[in-house]
Amino acid sequence: MLPTPKKFTLVTGTGRGESRLNAFDRALLQAGIGNLNLIKVSSILPPGSDLVEHLEIPPGSLTPVAYGALISDEEGGMIAASIAVGISENDYGLIMEFSGKCSRQEAEARALAMVREGFSVRGLKLKASQVKAVEEKVQGHTCVFAGAVLWY
């Protein structure tokens, strides 16, 4: 059994590359998590988790991340990704991610709306929320990435 993470941070990045994978890799590097092995997780923020500015994680670590990403090669289009967290009064929280062909502002609004809906469905009271987003105009293979990195 894995331990429950106690810290999290929100990261974003963009990248371009000769291939879709290289664009994704560059977005992860810009986000500061390009040297980690990401384990994609769903949308529950563990109870009592602390938001921190930066996490010190050894390269190669298996790292839980909830994320949204989009890779496009449709020249000139705008793409965006966002990550939002909702924190409850005394319980667990929610992480919602979004990516699409839109502006950063629209991506932020969509992720926050999903947090509010997720809290409503669960009957939880939303105490606070945080959101982080990024947008990029597509040139070649372009990736946008937004994630919530969980750590111990």
Helix (H, G, I), strand (E, B) or coil at 5: coil
Q: Count structural domains, the chain.
A: 1
> Confidence band (pLDDT; 50, 70, 90) for 1?
confident
Q: Which two tokens stand for residue 61?
A: 């670590």
Burial code of 26-38, b = ≥16 C-beta within 10 A, e = fewer? bbbebbbbbebeb
Does residue 122 sit within a domain? yes
Q: What are the beta bridge partners of residue 117? A: none
Residue 43 inside a domain? The answer is yes
Catalytically active residues are: 37, 42-43, 97
Does the model's pTM come out above 0.85?
yes
3-state secondary structure at position 60:
coil
- How large is the C-alpha radius of gyration of the chain? 15
Domain of residue 122, residue span: 7-151
What residues are paired with 116 via a beta bridge? none
**Quick count: other Cβ atoms within 10 Å of Cβ 135?**
19
Q: What is the CATH number of the domain that holds 99?
A: 3.50.20.10
Closest CA to 146 of 132, 130, 126: 132
In a domain, 2, yes or no: no
The model's pLDDT over 82-139, given as tens digits with 9 standing for 90+, comes to 999 999 988 899 999 999 999 999 999 999 999 999 999 999 999 999 999 999 999 9
| 137 within a domain of the structure (yes/no) | yes
Q: For residue 134, tell me if it sits in a domain.
A: yes
Residue 1 within any structural domain of the chain: no
Tell me if 38 is assigned to some domain.
Answer: yes
